[in-house]
């Protein structure tokens, strides 16, 4: 069923942050920083994959993501919903179900046998494809998925994620220069605000996280 009436963007962001905290998908540790996929340190880590194990929260967030995309891109803007391997696949399936659209997924690289394809499912030339993922940091990993979609003759001008880091200013420019608009539910700033409101972490930990969010590159350089 396609959702049509949901809270304004600010309330969606707050509720999304609250749900991520509730299922303990958010981890803060300034003393022993996490290592991101880029190899750089961070006092923050988020595991959106946990959402698939919480059906009530999962359903609510997929409603939020669907209505966000429809509000920002249009109700008839897409012909196909593609998930990025692997974390984006379940969320793409859930969004496609709500939007009553075909679902496909994009491999990170060809599987090396059979058709050697990167696109699984039926995607055809001229289709307008929405790329769905769990999160984005600097936007770079999305470009390969977008290019694989475009190689089929389909178009891909939008990507939707549950969580957007929101701290690297180049992200939306990187995507925009590639002709892709970003849609998301919440950022680290929303999570930090909700964590302070709930008292989920110690104040000193939240202060350290805020220092990272204010200038992530400087924080990473100081903690290499």
> What letter does residue 17 receive in the DSSP assignment?
H
| First-to-last C-alpha distance (Å) of the chain | 48
User: Is 14 a member of any domain?
Assistant: yes
Q: Which CATH number do you get for residue 193?
A: 3.40.50.2020
Q: Cα(202)–Cα(53) distance, rounded to whole angstroms?
A: 27
User: Is 1 a member of any domain?
Assistant: no
User: Is 92 a member of any domain?
Assistant: yes
Q: Is the peptide bond before 179 cis (omega within 30 degrees of 0)?
A: no
Q: Cα(47)–Cα(184) distance, rounded to whole angstroms?
A: 16
What is the token pair recorded at 101?
């659209």
Count of domains observed in the chain: 1
User: Is 4 a member of any domain?
Assistant: no
User: Is 64 a member of any domain?
Assistant: yes
User: Is 90 a member of any domain?
Assistant: yes
Q: What is the pTM of this model?
A: 0.94
**72: containing domain:** 9-219
**What pLDDT tens digit does each residue of the chain (224 aa) get?**
666 668 999 999 999 999 999 999 999 998 888 987 777 789 999 999 999 999 999 999 999 999 999 999 999 999 999 999 999 999 999 999 999 999 999 999 887 665 658 999 999 999 999 999 999 988 888 999 999 999 999 999 999 999 999 998 889 999 999 999 999 999 999 999 999 999 999 999 999 999 999 999 898 888 87
Q: Cα(32)–Cα(43) distance, rounded to whole angstroms?
A: 7
DSSP annotation string for 59-126: HHHHHHHHHHHHHHH-TT--SEEEEETTTHHHHHHHHHHHHT--EEEE-SS--SSTT--SEES---TT
């Amino acid at each position: 069923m396609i959702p049509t009436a949901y809270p304004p963007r600010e309330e969606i962001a707050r509720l999304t942050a609250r749900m991520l905290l509730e299922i303990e998908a958010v981890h803060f540790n300034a003393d022993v920083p996490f290592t991101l996929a880029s190899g750089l340190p961070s006092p923050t880590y988020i595991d959106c994959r946990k959402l698939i194990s919480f059906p009530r929260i999962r359903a609510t967030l997929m409603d939020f993501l669907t209505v966000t995309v429809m509000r920002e891109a249009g109700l008839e803007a897409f012909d196909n919903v593609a998930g990025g391997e692997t974390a984006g696949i379940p969320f793409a399936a859930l969004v496609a179900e709500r939007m009553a659209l075909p679902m496909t997924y994009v491999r990170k690289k060809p599987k090396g046998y059979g058709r050697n394809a990167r696109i699984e499912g039926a995607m055809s030339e001229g289709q307008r494809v929405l790329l769905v993922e769990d999160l984005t940091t600097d936007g770079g990993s999305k470009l390969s998925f977008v290019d694989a979609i475009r190689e089929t003759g389909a178009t891909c001008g939008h990507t939707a994620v549950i969580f957007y880091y929101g701290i690297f200013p180049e992200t939306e420019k990187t995507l925009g220069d590639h002709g892709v608009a970003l849609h998301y539910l919440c950022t680290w700033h929303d999570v930090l605000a909700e964590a302070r409101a709930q008292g989920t972490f110690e104040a000193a930990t939240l202060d350290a996280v805020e220092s990272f969010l204010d200038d992530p590159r400087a924080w990473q350089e100081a903690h290499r």
